[in-house]
Amino acid sequence: MRIGRRLEALLISPLLVAMLGFIVFPVLVLFGYSLFAWLYVQPQGDPTLNNYIQVLTDPLYRTIAVNTLLIGIPTAALSVAGGYVLAYYIVFGGSTWRGIVLVLVVTALMASFLVRIYAWRTLLGATGVVNSILAGLGLVDRPVEFFAFSKLAAVIAEVSVFLPLAALTFFAALSGVSPDLRGAARDLGASRLQALRRITIPLTGPAILASTALIFFLSAGDFITPVFVGGVESVTVGIVIANAFGVIGNFGMGAALSFLVLLAFVLVYAGLRAGMRAGNFLPERTGQP
């Protein structure tokens, strides 16, 4: 059935209202907030760029940026690598287990975010299962603190959150790669690894790029995992933003920080894309959307 312009506008308008009202409009308001100094949850004085300048110059924020990178980069890299393995198995694994692995990946994706964090927290805690098994085996005589409340613990927990997301993205991407291309490469004398490196990975390059950047971005914005699993050494930018809009009430600083993270994300994406292009990890002449 054909639908006219007016009906089309009518059908799309609730979506436009929701996205413009609750995403685009708030972003504009936040940009306004970022241009003021805030005191007692109120904007003060004249517009200024001080919030941005302070974030870029204050060494405190440098530490936070370093923490965010130290957690975000390994999280994105490990999630993408692990997700690729799962997706590769589902698409090319060639056994009856493929379907079951796909179901398990989707099930893992739909497993509660908070329960996964809770599980790692109780598993890695000082009196948790890992430590009590180690103590029981006589391997340690007191709880190993670095299991919980470390950047490593935050990375482990975040990888378990983001890996299924990457796996499903790569499942969709790999499903579009014709096995004939790999077969042809093998026939022409490429080793299994060469076929993967020269054919399969470049063809799924756009998905790898998008997943890596998105997971890094999501990791930077997560303010629950680093607090409850990462502990005091894992103060990331997500936590600082959340606190600025929570207990601290400095909306201007929180908003400025958010826009700088957004800018950093664009730079990371562009850098990653240039790097992948230089290393021939992206298909040639592709109009990346």
Q: Tokens 């093998």 label which residue?
A: 186
In the DSSP assignment, the letter for residue 232 is G
Q: Residue 1 belongs to what H/E stretch?
A: none
Nearer to other proteins, 151 or 252 (CB): 252
* Binder among 177, 198, 245, 277 for other proteins (CB under 8 A): 245
CA dihedral 192, 194, 198, 204 (to 10 degrees): 40
Sole binder of other proteins in the list 93, 197, 198, 231 (CB under 8 A): 93
SS3 44: strand
Asked if 36 touches other proteins (CB under 8 A), the answer is: no
Applying CB under 8 A, does 5 fall inside the site for other proteins?
Answer: yes
21 binds other proteins (CB under 8 A): yes
- Exposed, middle or buried by CB within 10 Å (0-12, 13-18, 19+), for 111? middle
69 makes contact with other proteins (CB under 8 A): no
Least distance CB 193 / other proteins (angstroms):
11
* 282 interacts with other proteins by CB under 8 A: no
In degrees and rounded to multiples of 5, residue 95 shows phi and psi of -130, 175
Comparing CA positions, the residue from 178, 207, 193, 180 lying closest to residue 281 is: 207
Interacting residue with other proteins among 55, 64, 65, 86 (CB under 8 A): 86
Judged by CB under 8 A, which stretch of 60-68, 125-133, 180-188, 273-281 contacts other proteins?
Answer: 125-133
- The size of the interface with other proteins (CB under 8 A), counted in residues, is 100
Residues 174-213 that bind other proteins (CB under 8 A): 175, 206-207, 210-211
Contact mark string toward other proteins, 141..180, x via CB under 8 A: -------------------x--xxxx-xxxxxx-x-----
Alpha helices (H) along the chain? 5-19, 25-34, 50-57, 59-92, 98-110, 113-124, 129-136, 151-175, 179-187, 192-195, 201-203, 205-221, 225, 237-244, 251-278
252 near other proteins, judged by CB under 8 A: no
Cα 190 to Cα 194: distance, rounded to the nearest angstrom: 6
Q: Is 260 in the site for other proteins (CB under 8 A)?
A: no
205-239 residues labelled b (16+ CB within 10 A) or e (exposed): bbbbbbbbbbbbbbbbbbbbbbbbbbbeebbbbbb
Selected range binding other proteins among 52-60, 181-189, 249-257, 270-278, rule: CB under 8 A? 249-257
Site stretch for other proteins (CB under 8 A), options 29-37, 144-152, 182-190, 279-287: 29-37
In the window 97-116, what residues touch other proteins (CB under 8 A)?
97, 101-116
Among 36, 38, 52, 120, binds other proteins (CB under 8 A): 120
Choices 54-62, 78-86, 144-152, 178-186 (CB under 8 A): range interacting with other proteins: 78-86
